[in-house]
Structure 1
Amino acid sequence: MSISSHTRRMLPWIVLGIVVLALNLRAPIIAPTAILPRIQEGTGFSSAGLGLLTGLPVFLFALATPVAGRFITRLGAEATVLACLSGVLAGTVLRSAGPPWLVLVGTGIIGLAITLGNIVVPVIIRREVPWEQVSMVTGLYSAMMNIGSMATLIGTGPLAAALGWRWALATWGVLALIGLGFWIVLIRFRVRREGAAVRGAEEASEASSGPEASSEPEAEQPWSQAPAAFRGIIALLVVTFSGQSIAYYVTTTWLPSYLADTIGLASASAGATASLFQISALLGAFGVPLLAAQSKAWTPVAIVALLWLSLPVGLLLAPGAYGLWAITGGIAQGGGFTAIFSIIARTAGSDAQTASASARVQGGGYLAATLAPPFAGWLNTATSGWTAPLLLVFAATASFAITGLLAARRAGRFRRGGAGAREILDADD
């Protein structure tokens, strides 16, 4: 797909829009985790109710992704972005202002809204970004989600101490309000510029060749018309992202408990070590695009897979080096996300195919993410130890390695079909 001069001029603003959107796609979920005791005191929630504040959005990611894909296909990417940010803002307000049942309703609205954002970002990247920059922009998107998460983890506690837990959660709605305002201005500006460009092109075409020379717009290729090779890549990525999600959410949920039980760390030290797992994702998010620019298509995935495997293997065989394994696992989780969604954006043949592929991959991955942490907790209780949960993480990272490498190698040889196809992607043989 050739990138027009108008699109090139708009690209920095679109990337900035992706950044603002990404800040809103994890922060609203992470914010309550920093002040759960205060929320419990203010609402009377049981432990299960508190778990819904983080578990319900992830469950909705899995449940609502097919609907989100169809929403994007019918209404377009821009309308979906506005719906996402509006939903995050509305859900944040409801979660902060109402009685316990409304807190859960607001949490559910946030989950549904973020589901739209999860699916629409790969569509925007695929449509707007030159293919050689897809990995870098996807890495930036992944990094900004982690930065948003870290900002809320650091800031929510002090805000709650100063303003109370309701205002602390409500404050992060400012991010959604900023994003909504930015995207409204960006869309209006783009509509005006594109309208002027289209009118100018039509007048020039009619003057040179007559009305019959004008061309029809490229048809959207639905999922049903996707090449079999592309569907095969997506099937592999469903398993790859499921492995990524299991490893990420099990580690995020249980690493502090593992460190307390196995190493004997105090709560503060265990939390600080677990935060390394989140912060190190930034290295992976930006490292994968840099590797992709200098190597064959499968090389970044292979390195990420080795780093992922080092986490459970290291904690099993050398638990004393827990800080190192938290860092290598963190790099892997940031790099794995970037690698997976870069492959989708670079191989899909249309916005509709991108939305459908992203929905399938994320639906499977987030369903696994919903089920895996409770299962890991059950394994810990049933076996009175952490070996079985770590073996679960090992199995997940091994599946990431196998299917991720197969998908990356196939993507490296894949020629995207249909109108507007790009060149062969970095053939690796």
Structure 2
Amino acid sequence: MATGGLTTTRAAVPGLLLAGVLLVALNLRGPLIAVAPVTGELRSDLAVGAGTVGLLTSIPVLLFGLAAPLASWVIARAGTHRAVLVSMLGVLAGTLLRSVGDVRTALAGTVVLGLAITVGNVVVPVVIGRDFPGVTHVVTAAYTSALNIGATLTTTLTAPLADLVGWRWALASWGLLVGVACLVWTAGLRRQAARAGEAPPPPPPAADVRPVWRQPAVWGLTLAFAAQAFSYYGVTAWLPTLLADEQGLTRSVAGVSSSLFQVFAVAGAFAVPALVAWWRRPSAVLLAVTAAWATLPVGLLAAPGLWPLWCALAGVAQGGGLTIVFIAIVARSRDLVENRRTSAMVQGGGYAVAATGPLVVGAAHDLSGGWTVPMLVVLGAIVVMAVAGGASAGGRPREGNAQA
């Protein structure tokens, strides 16, 4: 009976933690994207310009990079599971603070959101690597898919909510989803504590691990992630405008490109683990992802009329690109500490570069007067991702992380 009880507990814990991981992921992008559909109302109510409103989306991405070392410290002090709860409580506080008061309060809430999400960005891949052995790749795919689903939910539903209750309540209402994530995660902590009391202690961390900043592979992954994130944010910011200018599409029709870009990311996230299991070489999968990414700038330059196809392929690539980098981080980390530090360095450096994506792509358009140069800039970033990631993602994954 004791064995049966232990088996039941162990079977229940991953399921509850998986639900928690997915709910947390829904809240790691959605609250930021929620601002975009109500930009007009927000500008009018707060009496601010477009530049100030732009800070509500650019500040968090910058903090994703600059605050990653702070996030790593918080995780080390609080522990992985409690750090997730800290992240969600911070997201809740930032969401509510942003929805009340004047522009200063909105900016303060945005900073809190950025810091809290940074902790979540770093810690959730660590939790996945530790608590889902053998199915790490699949859970990573589900996590990255949930990031995009969260963004899609807020993009789709915030404007209708604002029509009913106003933009402040519409933004604040997403705090309900954060609250659900907190409840599920707290329940998961209790189950995990019960499991930890019955399970054998984890092995001690490896003593001979070099600092991550001295490992060339970690620098390569940082460059690959930076190129992936730079391309993602640059394309997300300007693709609808490009299509409106070049194809004569209305803004609303051009906005469909963003939907394709987000929805097809789910397919990419789940295709990558299958390819890793089949090919057994993460580096080869990463190169395949960059080839799909390249179809967007090349396709828009060579055959712009096929833009739905290029947007869909790039969507698959951006979802797959995020997944394969996270898989490589877990596969190359020998213990929890190295996983946390590698995740912090890769995401910190990557998001610091990503914050410049919309600015650089926009500046390239302004200076050149067209969209050829901006697309070549994106293509250059994809080449960097292929070279740096292909050399650093590794060959065969370790046995413990091989299953998909």
Q: Does TM, normalized by the shorter one, top 0.5?
A: yes
Contact 2:68 2:344 in 1 (8 A): yes
Write the letter of the residue equivalent to 2:156: I
Are the structure 2 counterparts of residues 381 and 227 from structure 1 closer, same or farther at C-alpha, using a change threshold of 3 Å? Answer: closer
Q: Do residues 184 (structure 1) and 186 (structure 2) align? A: yes
Partner SS for 1:280: helix
* TM-score after normalising by structure 2: 0.93
- Which structure 1 residue ranges, 5 or more long, are not aligned? 202-215, 416-421
Calculate percent identity across the aligned residue pairs. Answer: 38
Q: String of CA shifts for 1:153-195, please: whole Å, max 9, x gaps.
A: 0000000000000000001011110111111121123223432
Return the alpha-carbon distance in structure 1 between the equivalents of residues 401 and 68 of structure 2: 30
Write the letter of the residue equivalent to 1:109: V
Return the alpha-carbon distance in structure 1 between the equivalents of residues 10 and 287 of structure 2: 34
Partner SS for 1:394: helix
Q: How does 1:239-258 map to 2 (within 5 A)?
A: 239-258=223-242
Contact 1:230 1:348 in 2 (8 A): no
Aligned counterpart for 1:91 among listed residues 88, 91, 94: 94
Residue number in structure 2 paired with 1:238:
222
Write the letter of the residue equivalent to 2:294: L
Shift of 1:401: 1.3
Q: Do residues 12 (structure 1) and 21 (structure 2) align? A: no
- Which structure 2 residue ranges, 5 or more long, are not aligned? 1-5
Residue number in structure 2 paired with 1:69:
72
Contact 2:212 2:218 in 1 (8 A): no
Shift of 1:35: 0.9
Q: How does 1:70-149 map to 2 (within 5 A)?
A: 70-131=73-134, 133-149=135-151
Tell which structure's C-alpha radius of gyration is larger: 1
Residue number in structure 1 paired with 2:3:
none
Aligned counterpart for 2:35 among listed residues 32, 53, 56: 32
Q: How does 1:11-410 map to 2 (within 5 A)?
A: 11-131=14-134, 133-195=135-197, 197=198, 218-221=203-206, 225-226=209-210, 231-297=215-281, 298-408=283-393, 410=394
Return the alpha-carbon distance in structure 1 between the equivalents of residues 142 and 190 of structure 2: 25
* TM-score after normalising by structure 1: 0.88
Contact 2:267 2:316 in 1 (8 A): yes
Stretch moving more, 106-115 or 122-131: 122-131
Partner SS for 2:204: coil
Residue number in structure 2 paired with 1:209:
none
Write the letter of the residue equivalent to 2:246: T
Shift of 1:232: 2.6
Once superposed, what is the RMSD of the aligned Cα atoms?
Answer: 2.1
Partner SS for 1:225: coil
Write the letter of the residue equivalent to 1:261: D
Return the alpha-carbon distance in structure 2 between the equivalents of residues 47 and 229 of structure 1: 38
Return the alpha-carbon distance in structure 2 between the equivalents of residues 14 and 275 of structure 1: 29
Residue number in structure 2 paired with 1:211:
none
Return the alpha-carbon distance in structure 2 between the equivalents of residues 389 and 115 of structure 1: 28
Stretch moving more, 83-92 or 345-354: 345-354
The count of corresponding residues between Structure 1 and Structure 2 is 396
